Structure 1
Amino acid sequence: MSNYRSPYTVELRGYYLQRLMIWTQDNTEHRSVLKLTLVDFHAWLSKDVGPAISTKRSARSTLSVFYEWAETIGKIKKNPARKLPTMRNSIGIPTTLAPSMTSNEPSNDQRGPSMSS
C-alpha cells in the first residue's frame, strides 16, 4: 500500500483504516473489515467520514486501495470497494467581486496628485 506514496498519504490511509476498523467493531455484527459490504461502505462514508467531498474522496480511495491489496494477497475473494461510485469534486460557487473591484475607474491612489489644495 505504501509503494510510491508520500509519507502523508500513507499516514492518512492508515488513519482512515483505523477509523474504519473502529466503526466496523461498533456498528456491525461480524466486526471484521474483511467482511464489509458495499452497503457498509456507504453507511461509513455517509455517517463517519466528514461532510466535505474531498474528505469522502480520500476515504473512498483508501477503501479502494486497501481492498485491492486484500484481494491481491488472498485475504478476500472479491474486492467489494470496486463497485463504489466515483466521487467528483463539487462545483465551486463563484465569489462576487465588490463593486469597487469591478469598476473601470482607477482608485484614488492610482489617479495621481490631487489638483485641489
Structure 2
Amino acid sequence: MRAAGQPETTLYLRSYHMRRFASETGRAPFPMTVDFLAGYLGGHAKLGASSRNSMRSSLRAFYRWAHLTGRIDTDPSASLPKVKVQTGRPRPAPTKAVDEGKRAHDWRVRLMVNLAAHAGMRCGEIAKAHTDDVFPDLVGSSILVHGKGGKERTVPLRDELEHMLKQLEPGYIFPGRIDGHLSPGYVSKLISEALPTNVTGHMLRHWFATNAYRGSGGDIRAVQELLGHASVATTQIYTLVEDGATRRAVNF
C-alpha cells in the first residue's frame, strides 16, 4: 500500500482494522471463508454503516493482497456483501459550542478549534500543520493544508487566526513525539474535550462549510475548494441550508 502511494492515515486504518480482527476473532487469517467474514461484520451492527464499510474495505484489501501474492488460492472477501451507507446530512456544531471551544483554557486547543472552525481543517491536517505552511497572499495570509491522499489546498486565513499563527515559534504548530507532531487521534481528543457533549471536532468542519457557503453567496464550488473535496456531492453533505431558504427560493 505504501508503494502504491496510499496516505499514512489509510495505512494506519487498514493495520488497525486487521489487528482488531485478529484480536476479536482469535484465529489465524488463513484459511478463511466469506461466511466467517460476513458474520464478523454482522456482529458489529452497532457501529455506523460507514465504520462497517471501512472495516469491509480493510478486509477486502488484505485478502485481495494475500490472493495476488499467492498466500491463498482464492479470495474469500471477493463476494463479501457490500455495506449500504446512507447519504449523510450536514451536522454543523452549534455556534455556542464553537464559541465554547474557542474559550478553552489550553492555547493549543483554542488554536485547534479555530483551525477547524475557521479554516475547515480535519484533525489529521491540524496535527501536521507547520509554520512554514503559512504564507502571505495578496490581501493577507493563507495556509497550505496537507489533505487526504497527499492532496494540498490553500485556505485564506481570517485576521485573528493569522495573528494567532504568527505568534508561534518556527516548526510544527503542535509538536509531539510521533513524527515531530501530535497524532490526529490526540488532536481529536483534545478538541472533543473542549466541546459540549455530543459535539465533535468534525462538526466544526461542517460549521465552517455551512458558514462559508452562506458567506460566499451560495458558491458551492468555492466551498468545495476550501474543504478539499474531489466531488461537489461530498461538499453538499457538509453544507446546511438555512431555515426558510428553500421557501424563498420558490418565491420568484
With the length of structure 2 as denominator, give the TM-score of the two structures. Answer: 0.34
Instruction: Give the direction of change, closer, same or farther, for the CA distance of 1:77–1:83 in structure 2 (3 Å limit).
Output: same
- Please list, as runs of the form range in 1=range in 2, the aligned pairs for 1:28-107 lying within 5 A after superposition: 31-48=27-44, 51-92=47-88, 101-102=243-244
2:86 partner letter? S
Q: 1:13 matched to which residue of 2?
A: 14
Q: Distance in 2 between matches of 1:48 and 1:61?
A: 15
* Cα deviation code 1:11-40 (max 9, x no counterpart): 000000001111221xxxxx2112221111
2:22 partner letter? M
1:10 deviation in Å?
A: 0.2
Contact 1:54 1:89 in 2 (8 A): yes
* Cα deviation code 1:37-68 (max 9, x no counterpart): 11111121122475211111111111111001
Across the aligned residues of Structure 1 and Structure 2, the Cα RMSD in angstroms comes to 2.7
Q: Which has the higher strand share?
A: 2
Q: Distance in 2 between matches of 1:50 and 1:12?
A: 19
Contact 1:63 1:81 in 2 (8 A): yes
Q: Distance in 1 between matches of 2:24 and 2:44?
A: 8
Contact 2:66 2:72 in 1 (8 A): yes
Q: 2:118 matched to which residue of 1?
A: none
Q: 2:166 matched to which residue of 1?
A: none
Count, aligned residues: 97
Which segment drifts farther, 4-13 or 41-50?
A: 41-50
* Cα deviation code 1:46-92 (max 9, x no counterpart): 22475211111111111111001101111110000000122332144
Q: Distance in 2 between matches of 1:92 and 1:7?
A: 25
Unaligned runs of 5+ in 1: 26-30, 106-117
Contact 2:33 2:76 in 1 (8 A): yes
Q: Distance in 2 between matches of 1:15 and 1:49?
A: 19
Which segment drifts farther, 79-88 or 45-54?
A: 45-54
Bigger CA radius of gyration: 1
2:7 partner letter? S
Task: Identify which of structures 1 and 2 has the higher relative contact order when contacts are C-alpha pairs closer than 8 Å and 6+ apart.
Answer: 1
Contact 1:23 1:48 in 2 (8 A): no
Contact 1:68 1:79 in 2 (8 A): yes
Contact 2:34 2:79 in 1 (8 A): yes
Contact 2:38 2:81 in 1 (8 A): no
1:93 deviation in Å?
A: 6.3
Instruction: Give the direction of change, closer, same or farther, for the CA distance of 1:19–1:49 in structure 2 (3 Å limit).
Output: farther
